[in-house]
Amino acid sequence: MTDSDPLYPRWMRLKMAAWYSSIGKQRLIALAQDGHIKGFQDPDSGRGDWIFDRLSIDAYREARDPYLDLHEKAKRYLAESYPMLRPRRLVLRNGIWYTEFQRGKWKSLRTRNQKEAAAIFETMEKEWVLHRINKLDSDRQVSLAEFIEDYLEHRTGMSIHTVKQDRNALAYLADAIGGGTLLTLINAKRIDEFKTVCLARNVKPQSVNSYLRHIKSALNTAYEWELIKKVPKIKQLPVNRKQYKILTPDQIDEFVTAARKYKPDLYHLLVFYLWTGARRAEGRRLTWPDVHLDTPQPHAVLRDTKGKQDRTVPLAQPVVAMLSGIRRDLGPVFARVHVDTITDWFAELSKKCGIKATPHDIRHIAVTYMIANGLNHTAVQEILGHSQFSTTQIYVHLVKDHLHKEIAKLRFE
């Protein structure tokens, strides 16, 4: 018998043999005891560990019904991974084949053989379809509480803050309409009941709308999992549009000058925020390896942003000049302080110069001036990292309102 796969050792202990063969530990021991594969207990092991001959395992697997083997693997891998999600595609990672269910959700097929991986993947797809057909009636009887538990379990890759908001919004919904309510019975009327309960408990309309956004996202997932036939229409509560703070150029200049005198670390952050529109934490996390000043188009790469995607922002000359005056190393660009400390710095500076502005106010001011100065709206969306263009449009309307107020000052006297 020749060794056709030198990547693995000839003799394997129980744990590795189980992983390699996708056969359970107890079953491997039973196969060895029955003489189907070569294996024995290690006399030097105090725990009585077993050692197996990989070549005999390969011979046993080849002699078995290959369809039955693939069928068992497919069912097992589906059960161990994401049974609610449909297998999407095969991906090779570090020499091992994986099934991708959706972005960031993978399951190893524990094989380096492409033909075997393709056969397992095809069987997984068939098993998933059969599972959905066979369980369709029972799936339709999923309660809200059961769905919430499964939904939160599969919110991998999301920030802790987002998952916490998901949990709170869905908990409030379950409390308002009942956790035992069947998912298919949640319609626009039930959502209106939820709104009424929230308002009766003196929850602010803005907070209710935030809950509704998370509930809609959850119901969209329920639709993708084929637990409901359609997503109910969810209308936001009417609220007064927030008027963002806009500082005049003179006020901005005074604020920046005061920051330079009061605290240079704050001045550096303020200039970066003004010219990039970066969020508070995005600027704080910036490191020198992600700053590129010596290129024809200076830019910085913001990591771990709100949308969980890296974002490249162009650096205007004032930012390049400011960054050029800071000592460079391999660590953070700006002061190593907590983000709340940055907010406290802004509050102290506001008291000193009499101009109130928070880090997020600076972001609003930055995007407002970008649009007012004629920057392409799509480019502004990309620079700011808005996932929805509608968010950028808010500032377009804000600029228009500001222009109307300014034109009212016009006099021909």
pLDDT of 150: 84
195 and 89 share a domain? Answer: no
3-state secondary structure the chain: CCCCCCCCCCEEEHHHHHHHHCCCHHHHHHHHHCCCCCEEECCCCCCCCEEEEHHHHHHHHHHCCHHHHHHHHHHHHHHHCCCCCCCCEEEEECCEEEEEEECCEEEECCCCCHHHHHHHHHHHHHHHHHHHHHCHHHHCCCEHHHHHHHHHHCCCCCCHHHHHHHHHHHHHHHHHHCCCCEHHHCCHHHHHHHHHHHHHCCCCHHHHHHHHHHHHHHHHHHHHCCCCCCCCCCCCCCCCCCCCCCCCHHHHHHHHHHHHHHCHHHHHHHHHHHHHCCCHHHHHCCEHHHEECCCCCCEEEECCCCCCCCEEEECCHHHHHHHHCCCCCCCECCCCCCHHHHHHHHHHHHHHHCCCCCHHHHHHHHHHHHHHCCCCHHHHHHHHCCCCHHHHHHHHHHHHHHHHHHHCCCCCC
Q: What's the CATH number where 326 sits?
A: 1.10.443.10
CB 155 within 8 A of CB 148: no
Residue 263 sits in the same domain as residue 176: no
In a 13 Å sphere around the CA of 220, the CA atoms on its Cβ side amount to: 7
Do residues 179 and 78 share a domain?
no
> CA 395, CA 193: separation in Å to the nearest integer?
33
CB 299 within 8 Å of CB 315: yes
pLDDT tens, position by position, 264-323: 999 999 999 989 888 888 888 899 999 999 888 999 988 878 766 788 889 989 989 999
Q: 98 and 71 share a domain? A: yes
Rg over alpha carbons for the chain, rounded to the nearest Å, is 30
Same domain, yes or no: 271 and 403: yes
The share of the chain scoring above pLDDT 90, in percent, equals 21
Residue 249 has pLDDT above 90, yes or no: no
Report whether pLDDT(138) > 70: no
Provide the pLDDT for residue 289.
92
369 found inside a domain: yes
Candidate from 154-158, 220-224, 293-297 with smallest mean pLDDT = 154-158
Which of 134, 158, 193 is a domain's end point? 134
Q: Has residue 238 got a pLDDT over 80? A: yes
The closest alpha carbon to 90, from 129, 133, 59, 120, belongs to 120
32 and 79, same domain (yes or no): no
Residue 229 lies in a domain: no
**Which pLDDT tens digit goes with each residue over 369-399?**
887 787 777 777 788 777 666 666 666 555 5
Average pLDDT, rounded, for the chain: 81
Looking at residues 97-117, what average pLDDT do you find?
A: 80
Please, which residues have CB within 8 angstroms of residue 251's CB and are 6 or more apart in sequence? 355
Residue 253 lies in a domain: yes
The band of 186, judged by pLDDT with boundaries at 50, 70 and 90, is: very high
Instruction: Judge whether residue 1 has pLDDT over 60.
Output: no
Q: Are residues 70 and 50 in the same domain?
A: no
Q: Is residue 231 part of a domain?
A: no
Same domain, 278 and 181: no
pLDDT by residue (tens digit) across 326-363?
Answer: 888 888 999 888 989 999 999 999 998 888 888 888 88
Instruction: Examine the fold and report which residue of 104, 134, 164 is the final residue of a domain before the chain moves on.
Output: 134
**Band (243; pLDDT cuts 50, 70, 90):** low
- 58 plus 77 within the same structural domain: no
pLDDT at residue 219, as a whole number: 94
Does one domain contain both 48 and 78? Answer: no
Region 15-32: mean pLDDT is 82
The pLDDT tens digits for 307-330 are: 667 888 899 899 899 999 888 888
Range with top average pLDDT, 81-90, 116-125, 241-250, 254-263: 254-263
Domain that holds residue 189: 144-224
Whether residue 290 is contained in a domain is answered as: yes
- With respect to residue 185, please indicate whether it lies within any of the assigned structural domains: yes
Q: Report in angstroms the alpha-carbon separations of 5 from 40, 318, 344.
A: 22, 60, 62
- Do the domain assignments include residue 180? yes
More confident residue, 392 or 41: 41
Q: How many domains does the chain have?
A: 4
pLDDT at 413: 44
Checking if the pLDDT of 17 tops 80, the result is yes
User: pTM for the full model?
Assistant: 0.50
The pLDDT value recorded for residue 170 is 94
How much is the average pLDDT of 26-34? 87
Beta bridge partners of 97: 92
249-262 and 264-276 helices, crossing angle to 10°: 150
Backbone angles phi, psi at 183, to 5 degrees: -60, -35
Please tell me the distance from the alpha carbon of residue 80 to that of residue 214, in angstroms, as a whole number.
Answer: 27
Same domain, 268 and 399: yes
Residues 107, 127: one domain? yes
The total of other beta-carbon atoms located within 10 Å of residue 139's CB is 17
Which among 85, 90, 76 is positioned nearest to 122, based on CA atoms? 90
Residue that finishes a domain, picked among 18, 49, 64: 64
In this predicted model, which residue has the larger pLDDT, 361 or 245? Answer: 361
Quick one: pLDDT at residue 58?
80
Q: What does the pLDDT read at residue 134? A: 55
Neighbours of 81 (CB within 10 A): 17
Q: Give the pLDDT band (50/70/90) at residue 194.
A: very high
